[in-house]
A and B are shown apart, each in its own frame.
Chain A
Amino acid sequence: MDEMIKVLGTLDYSPLWISLKTGLVATVISFFLGIFAARKVIGLPAGPKAVWDSLLTLPMVLPPTVAGFILLLIFSKRRPLGIFLYENFDIKVVQSWLGCIVAAVVIAFPLMYRNARAAFEQVDANLVYAGRTLGMSEWQIFRKVMVPTAGPGIVSGTVLTFARAMGEYGATSMLAGNIPGKTATISQRIAMVIQDGDYVKAGVYTAMALGIAAAAIIVMNLVAEKHMRHVVKY
């Protein structure tokens, strides 16, 4: 116990903040991208729909290290896109916090997209038709009817996305690396301290990760409970 307290006093808290920041930013980005993609894909004809759907889902199915390697190839400063971004906008993705976010978004986005799509497809088509005959714009229908009606699916997608983004390890370590205070996320740090044999430190970090995950899910559930009176409960 004394050992634990000593560890807490001298602990490097930066991985906690990096993970939290990465998780939140990646969730916000995935939330909008996922809903946008879901909306677009639903409207497509069968053929293109299947192609886009598999492209958007692929990062979830691939081993994260494979996704990380592909991202590295794309954003490397020795390749066209990486060179272009660095020379024109001074944007560096590899070995930077931005890399953490890119990796987390790519890996977690499919969870948001798939959940949102499934939720939208459950919405009674007549609600959309009713909106149209009443003269509401497609955007109004989407914002006022589709998203709230699809609420539970969107909330669960958001929770899963956050959880996945927080815990991302494989792709992050390939793309962003494990630079202390900069890109070293909690999951990377845990792996590192365990390699050093420091189980106490690893335990403390693990407890933090657990706490954040549990808190996030509880908060989301409370939000869902409060704002989804209209959803029939069984």
Chain B
Amino acid sequence: MEKLLEVENLTKIFTLGSVLSRVKITAVDNISFFIRPAEIFALAGESGCGKSTTARIIMGFERATSGTIIHNGRREGKNEKVWFTEGIQAIFQDPFATFNPLRTVERYFFETIQNYRLATSKQEAIERIDAKLRLVGLTYDDLAGKYPSEFSGGQLQRISIARALLTDPKLIIADEPVSMVDASLRMSIVNLFKRLRDDFGVSVLYITHDLATAYYVCDRIAIMFRGKIVEMGTVEQVLMAPKHPYTQLLRASIPEADPARRWQGMIRLSDIEQDEYLRQGCRFAGRCPHVMDVCRRVTPPQFDVDGAQVACHLYAEMPRSDEVLIASQGQ
């Protein structure tokens, strides 16, 4: 099985507070996943679950405490960033913060072309920019000499994507790309990811809290909770038949756009978030309706449940994911 990007046992620990009252928060706790070529992979969860930290580590903005990132079979080294970023480009959440309001938008394009030496003349550069802009439904003339304030949020986000495509990346890391875009324009961005995958074989790491768009656009999904991946599998497996109690809660909490199917029953919320990071064993144990004794003591390993990986003691009789992996490699 070909893997475009592989993340192995990634951990990131932040230290908070002064010397006297030091608290260690494990923002990302020993997570592993991989992305195949031409695949949209979602990393989903609530705020503070570590999804953005994971993305920042992959993009090189943050150093991992431990763990490795393997891109195209090469390990990410310290001094060879260019080959790495050429293959992986990023799109950020807030399109208005991405662009400096005092610079014309086209300058970002020329800068990228210069940094990666993608063209030898201005004419060639403009042709390349125009070709990429056409993929997102714009042209170079639409943007020549204009400032970010002259575009809507949806347009700027599409421009961001076109800029990312300049280097012909194999993977785009999109950190909440639609959460700041109006609902009426969201689908135009999401559909663009689909087209990039289907027509150009580009993979996308789609980081989101919006499970409905994740279901619509993604192939596989990993649900994170307080730094851990609690469930991973295809979107059909994870979102249509969630196994982990947290995924079940998350899935049931999505407001469905149907007045006939309103939320029933009550839910419990955590009062103080820090407790959940510092908790021993399963971090969902404080709110889980199926909590057992073992949950409070032992961190659950990932079990293989109908093809999805679920980190929950409820499935203790199922084979463990690492054993399944070893068995399949042995064949």
The judgment on whether A and B are partners is: no
Chain A residues near B (Cβ < 8 Å): none
